[in-house]
Structure 1
Amino acid sequence: MIAERYGVLRSAVCSFVERNLSPEERVLRQDKFRVRASQRRARDLTKKVQRPASTSPSVDPLYARISSMVPRTIDRALRDDMISEAYLQVLEGRIKGNATPTDMKKVISGVFRRFANKWGDVSLDEPVSAGSDTLLRDMIPEDAGLYA
Structure 2
Amino acid sequence: MNGEQQTSVTNVVKALGLRNRGPIASIPNHNGNAAKITAHLDAGGTLFNCGVSWHFRKLLKEERPDFWADALLRSAENARQAKIRAAHRNMMLRTHCKRGHELTAQTCRIITVKHHVQTHGTWQHRECQICRREFNKTSKFTAEQINALVKGAKAGLTISQLTNYRYPGTRVMRVNQYNTAMRADPQLAATLEPIFAKNRSVALRLAHPRKLIVPRRIDSGPALTGIIAGPSNEIFTAVNRAVPRHLDFETRKEVMSEMMLAILEGTLAIEDAPQRWREFSRAAYRMFPTKYGPVSLDAPAFHDSDTPLIERISVGLWS
- TM norm structure 2: 0.22
Q: Which has the larger radius of gyration?
A: 2
The higher relative CO (CA closer than 8 Å, separation ≥ 6) is in: 1
* Structure number with higher helix proportion: 1
- TM norm structure 1: 0.43
